Amino acid sequence: MAKRILVPFSQIAPADSFVTALGDLARGAGATVRLLQVTDTATNVVDADGRVVAYADQETQRLETEARDYLETVAVALDGVPVELAVRFGDPARAIMAEAADFGADLIALGVGSRRRFLMLGGVAEQIFRRAEMPVVLFRAGRHETGGR
């Protein structure tokens, strides 16, 4: 039974059914869940006149704070489950695999939005599915959550 579940998220809100199923799985296994947000590497933000508005370190801090806020809203829905938060920067597939290794994950849970995007060739889910040494579970949103697709 999985005791350390890594759950990578994009900025798209997860389907209610995914969060509910994840919570049930984690509670039933007595597992700890690590919620992960991978974001682009920050660069200096420059205005139209070429002036630096925010330096890369400031932008990194802003992106990390934004990502943690997002993950905290997901964590609230996992009431009663031990939850950790992590934010990484860079290539999503590489960052997810690195976090899985660092966390000692024995399961990766990915939410997928629709059948058409289920395992797009070369997509992040497909890369994780191929690279992961641990099981990968894919949660697909219910019909009422995807507009019936």
pLDDT per residue as tens digits for the range 74-118: 999 998 899 999 999 989 999 999 999 999 999 999 887 655 544
Enumerate domains of the chain plus CATH numbers: 4-146 (3.40.50.620)
**Residue 89 parent element (H or E):** strand 83-89
pLDDT per residue as tens digits for the range 15-40: 677 888 999 999 999 999 999 999 88
135's tokens:
């099981």
Tell which residue, 137, 39, 11, 138, has the closest CA to residue 96. 39
pLDDT band at 148 (very low <50, low <70, confident <90, very high): very low
**Residue 101 parent element (H or E):** helix 92-103
State pTM to two decimals. 0.82
